[in-house]
């Protein structure tokens, strides 16, 4: 789920990528012509003093108290990443043949005359073992045999096979707008101005940014402020504020549907296999 730390980390990543387009092996940023550190949180006074004296500049990212809840229009579960199947099942006539590699987290289904028979694959299992298990389930209703990785159902009027896996599902619990303060810290006006301008240039073109849970944050520029209240300590700051719209999400694991049963009240039972 996306929370304050995910948004902060996204802002850190975007600013670091802008300051160091060629990587950080050279600590001097080609954008601001000085060494720069970008981090979430607030600097420690002793580290700040030592680093500024050594020529470093800081950009800190900190969430402010300013927040408002936004309208959520969709709270249903949405499909996310689906694991790829390593088992395949093909049908030729009245024979289903399995192939591939057996691993846990997969379900193999054979649907005979509209009725699905499903076996879960296990780590260390074999294709022939899955075929034998399926044939045993099917033979409780209609004749079926297995030979190696093949299952034969001689009397099948309709025959289908499918393989299902598991994947992630995500839904929005709420959506909020939070203001984040990016602060440039420097030992002089010129370095402060360069770092402050870099914040603006890095984030202002970025209307949308991906978060680690797959959702998207929407950025809105808010305001900027110069702060020379610590100039006696030779610390000069610029605060650049952006509001970020993001979702707090919930994730879970689900499996693909291999057999769906729909009951029509007052009518007949319909079995739909997918």
* Helix/strand/coil for 22: coil
Q: Which pLDDT tens digit goes with each residue over 194-232?
A: 999 999 999 999 989 999 887 899 999 999 999 999 998
- Copy the structure tokens of residue 233: 């300590």
Q: At what angle do helices 4-19 and 189-203 cross, to 10 degrees?
A: 110
pLDDT at 251: 81
CB-based contacts of 267: which residues, under 8 Å, 6+ apart?
none
Q: Would you give the DSSP letter of residue 211?
A: -
Over pLDDT 90: what percentage of the chain? 74
Phi, psi (deg, nearest 5) at residue 43 = -70, 145
> Nearest-5° angle of CA 222, CA 225, CA 230?
145
pLDDT digits (tens, 9 = 90+) for 59-90: 999 999 999 988 876 678 877 788 899 999 99
- Give the mean model confidence (pLDDT) for residues 11-23: 96
Going by their DSSP bridges, the two strands 150-152 and 216-227 should be labelled as unpaired
- Given a contact cutoff of 8 angstroms between Cβ atoms, the answer to whether 62 and 237 are in contact is no
Tokens coding 237: 């700051």
Helix, strand or coil for residue 153?
Answer: coil
Q: Compute the residue count for the chain.
A: 274
The SS3 assignment for 167 reads strand
**Who wins on pLDDT, 157 or 80?**
157
Q: Residue by residue, what is the 3-state secondary structure of 42-104?
A: CCCHHHHHHHHHCCEEEEEEEEEEEEEEECCCCCCCEEEEECCCCEEEEEECCEEEEEECCCC
Write down the mean pLDDT value for the chain: 90
Domains of the chain: 4-74+170-253 (3.30.2000.10), 84-165 (no CATH)
Q: How do 87-92 and 150-152 pair as beta strands?
A: unpaired
User: Would the pLDDT of 270 be above 90?
Assistant: no
The pLDDT value recorded for residue 168 is 84
**Closest to 58 measured CA to CA, from 50, 67, 66:** 50
Contact yes or no for 161/91 (Cβ under 8 A): yes
Q: Which residues contact 171 (CB under 8 A, 6 or more apart)?
A: 75, 76, 77, 78, 249, 250
Q: What number of other Cβ atoms are within 10 A of residue 220's Cβ?
A: 12
Look up residue 260 and give its DSSP letter. E
């Amino acid at each position: 789920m996306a929370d304050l730390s995910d948004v902060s980390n996204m802002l850190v990543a975007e600013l670091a990528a802008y300051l160091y387009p060629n990587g950080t092996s050279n600590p001097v940023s080609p954008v601001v012509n000085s060494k720069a550190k970008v981090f979430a949180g607030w600097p420690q006074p002793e580290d700040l003093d030592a680093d500024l004296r050594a020529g470093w500049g800081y950009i800190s990212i900190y969430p402010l108290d300013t927040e408002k809840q936004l309208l959520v229009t969709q709270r249903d579960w949405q499909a996310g990443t689906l694991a790829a199947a390593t088992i395949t099942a093909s049908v030729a006539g009245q024979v289903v043949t399995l192939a591939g590699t057996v691993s846990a987290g997969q379900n193999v289904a054979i649907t005979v005359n509209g009725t699905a028979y499903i076996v879960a694959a296990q780590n260390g299992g074999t294709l022939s073992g899955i075929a034998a298990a399926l044939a045993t389930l099917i033979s409780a209703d209609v004749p079926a045999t297995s030979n190696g990785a093949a299952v034969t159902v001689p009397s099948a009027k309709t025959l289908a096979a499918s393989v299902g896996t598991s994947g992630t599902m995500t839904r929005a619990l709420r959506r909020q707008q939070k203001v984040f303060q990016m602060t440039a810290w420097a030992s002089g006006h010129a370095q402060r101005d360069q770092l402050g301008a870099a914040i603006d240039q890095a984030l202002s073109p970025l209307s949308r940014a991906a978060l680690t849970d797959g959702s998207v944050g929407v950025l809105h520029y808010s305001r900027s402020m110069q702060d020379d209240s610590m100039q006696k300590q030779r610390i000069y700051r610029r605060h650049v504020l952006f509001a970020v719209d993001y979702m707090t999400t919930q994730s879970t694991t689900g499996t693909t549907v291999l057999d769906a049963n729909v009951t029509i009240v007052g009518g007949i039972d319909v079995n739909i296999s997918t």
